[in-house]
Each structure stands twice: as C-alpha cells, then as structure tokens.
Amino acid sequence: MKAGKPQTPNPKSQSEQLRETARILLKEKKADLVIGYERGSSKRRARPVVIRDEKDVGRLIFDDTCGPSLVPFLRKTLRAAKDRNSKSQTPNPKAVTPLRVAVVAKGCDGRALVQQIAEGQLKRDQVVIVGVGCDGIADQRRGASGEKRAASCERCRYPNPPVYDVFVGEPVEVGTGDEFAGVAEFEKLASAERWAWFERELAKCIRCYACRNACPMCYCEECFVDQTKPLWLGKSAERPDTTLFHLVRALHSAGRCVDCGACERACPLGVRLALLNKRLEREVRERFGYTAGLSMEATPALATYSEEDKQEFML
C-alpha cells in the first residue's frame, strides 16, 4: 500500500475489526454510542458518523481518508447530551448516568484526548478510547499525488494512541528521524524569505475558522477573535488581521498542539499553517521538556512555571 512502510495494517481488516469492536461495545453497553468515520461524499473522503445501534456498525471505516479529528465531534456530542440531560424531566438529573461515548482515535487524536483530560476538559471515564494505529492520512490537496501523506503525517512520531481502552488492529511502527527537520529546513531561509512564504500562505486565508473549529484543542467557549473588550484584532480577511489570527492561535496552541494536521486539512484553500504550530511545539519541548498528549496527569507546560525556566528573553 504505502511504499517503504514495513508494518502496514490492511485497511480492510482493520475496518472490519473496528466494526466488530464497535458492535461489542454497544452490545455489552460499554458505550452508549460510537463516534467513528464513514465513507463520505466520494471514495476518497470520510466524514464523522455517530453509531447508536449495533446494526449500523457496518458504516464504520478506517483508512487514509479519515482526516478530520473526531475530538471536536466528541465534544459536541457530549455537550448535546449534557444539554438534553439538564432539560430533561428526570426529577434528579444528576442521577442520570452520563453518556459514555466511544471514539475512534488515531495516535494524534488519542494524544488530543489525553491532553484534554490533562487540561480538565474531559473526564477519563466519559470516553471509551478505541485506538487505531494510523499509517497517515493522504494529502488530498490538488497537485499532491494521492499516495503522498499529509505534512503532519509525514513527520508523525505517534501513530498509536498512548492511552486507549481497546486497540483495533496492529500497532503501526513509529517513524524515525527528526520530526522537526522541516522546521529546521525552513529556518535556514533568510528572514525576508520566511516572511514572504508566510505572507503568500496568508494571502489565501479567508478567515473561515475551519482550522480552528477542526482543531481538537480549540475548545474555548469564547475565542479571542470574538472578544470585544479588549478588541484584539479585526474580523476582516485582510492581511494584518489574518496574520494576527494565525500567530495568536499558534501561540494559544503552543504546548497543546498534537500536530494531527486536522487544521491544515480543514483549510479549504490549503494554507500550510501547521508549520507554525510545529515550530512552537519544538520550542515548548526544548524549553520545558513537555510534549502534549502523553500524560493525563502532567501539568500542561504553559499552565505552570518552574524556577528553572529560561529567561534569556528578559534583559
């Protein structure tokens, strides 16, 4: 299937195993519903699906088209259930068993779930993590050959979720090499060239927030772009505003981004914004020795401080 990958999971059998796993989870009432992927608007697209009934598990698939992160959809589902519970006629809503949702998690999505738990956004017992080893999502932008993987996937070092309740299929062998090589390459460019590259990417941005909404870590109820007191930036799609939006979002994602690449894949115009996040990921790792999404207990890097923190930027 993919040249040069020794342990390639056979997508068909992985999908079949996934369906069986989902069926058992529902049958044994270990989960009230399963969020996964189904075939989408074409053979090369997948979309999220919520399976509530064993008879529907046949819709589940897993392959290199399963690009969107399911975490935002998980949050929506949990939120919708919570809203329904609070409106329900039950005399004691707290006695209603909270919804247990099973979610299919690639390595990156699994890390995102761990990070959300670490950030207090999710309780471990709310979610049944159905881990799948991921071989990478196909780069489907025009001009890319169908075989090539998305940029984040090419440099991925966490193809298997670190925490899971059940693992479907074979774990994928972890890639080797420097995951920050692309960042280092980029840094070799002169400052003006880097800015020119960045401007060219931003020229495509239409401020649709697909990147933000697709991101498993962007869960703020009120995003900084919507705040008016103070007004941090304008709402237009003109360069100063789009520049600020992407820079600030990257900073807000620093130490939290799991480089799933959902943002870049979500962008309808193919803006290559994941590089920005990757650069900051390296920064956090170097400064604070912290990698997002690996420990449910560790305090997120930018949520704490240590006296050993470097302060060379302060004179």
Partner 1 sequence: MSSSLRIAKPDLDELVSALTSRYRLFGPVDVDSATMLREVKSADELALGAALDGPVKAAFFPQTETLLTYDGTRSEAPPGRDKPTAVIGVRPCDARSLLLLDKVFGTGKYRDPLWQRRHDDSLVIGLGCSAPLETCFCNSMGSGPFNAEGSDIMLTDVGDAFVAESCTDKGERFLKTAYKSQVQRPSQADLDKAGQARSKALAVLAPAADYSGVKTALAKLWESALWDEIALGCLSCGACAYLCPTCHCFDVQDETVPGTQQGRRVRIWDTCQASLFTKEASGHNPRPGSKERMRQRVMHKFSYFADNFGETACVGCGRCIRLCPADFDVRLVLERVMAEDRRPKTGDRATKNEERGTKKDVRHAG
Residue ranges of alpha helices (H) inside the chain are 11-27, 71-87, 107-118, 151-154, 181-187, 191-202, 210-214, 239-253, 262-266, 274-288
Looking at beta carbons only, is 72 or 161 nearer to partner 1? 72
Looking at beta carbons only, is 68 or 169 nearer to partner 1? 68
Work out how close the CB of 295 gets to partner 1 at its nearest, in angstroms, rounded to a whole number. 28
Burial of 128 (0-12, 13-18, 19+ CB in 10 A): buried
Report residue 112 as tokens.
């995102």
Looking at beta carbons only, is 98 or 270 nearer to partner 1? 270
Work out how close the CB of 312 gets to partner 1 at its nearest, in angstroms, rounded to a whole number. 30
Looking at beta carbons only, is 171 or 270 nearer to partner 1? 270
Packed helices 71-87 and 107-118: angle between N→C axes, nearest 10 degrees:
50
Work out how close the CB of 32 gets to partner 1 at its nearest, in angstroms, rounded to a whole number. 14
Work out how close the CB of 64 gets to partner 1 at its nearest, in angstroms, rounded to a whole number. 15
By the criterion CB under 8 A, which residues form the site for partner 1? 40-42, 45-48, 50, 68, 72-73, 76-77, 80, 83, 141-144, 200-201, 203-204, 206-210, 212-214, 226, 234-238, 262, 265-270
Work out how close the CB of 25 gets to partner 1 at its nearest, in angstroms, rounded to a whole number. 19
| DSSP label of 97 | P
Q: Which residue has the tokens 């071989």?
A: 135
Query: Residues 27, 51: contact at Cβ < 8 Å?
Result: no
Looking at beta carbons only, is 7 or 236 nearer to partner 1? 236
Work out how close the CB of 301 gets to partner 1 at its nearest, in angstroms, rounded to a whole number. 27
Work out how close the CB of 241 gets to partner 1 at its nearest, in angstroms, rounded to a whole number. 9
Looking at beta carbons only, is 17 or 152 nearer to partner 1? 152
Rounded distance, CA 246 to CA 257, Å?
Answer: 14
Query: Residues 92, 148: contact at Cβ < 8 Å?
Result: no
Burial of 224 (0-12, 13-18, 19+ CB in 10 A): middle
Looking at beta carbons only, is 89 or 311 nearer to partner 1? 89
Q: Give the angle subtended at the CA of 309 by the CAs of 158 and 294, to the nearest 5°.
A: 20
Rounded distance, CA 61 to CA 18, Å?
Answer: 7
Residue type, 258: V
**Which strand (E) or helix (H) includes residue 174?**
none
Looking at beta carbons only, is 40 or 182 nearer to partner 1? 40
Rounded distance, CA 272 to CA 198, Å?
Answer: 9
Report residue 310 as tokens.
């470097």
Work out how close the CB of 145 gets to partner 1 at its nearest, in angstroms, rounded to a whole number. 12
How many secondary structure helices (H) and strands (E) does the chain include?
A: 10, 6
Looking at beta carbons only, is 94 or 142 nearer to partner 1? 142
Work out how close the CB of 161 gets to partner 1 at its nearest, in angstroms, rounded to a whole number. 21
- Which residues, including other chains, have CB under 8 Å from residue 44's CB and lie 6 or more apart? 65, 138, 140, 146
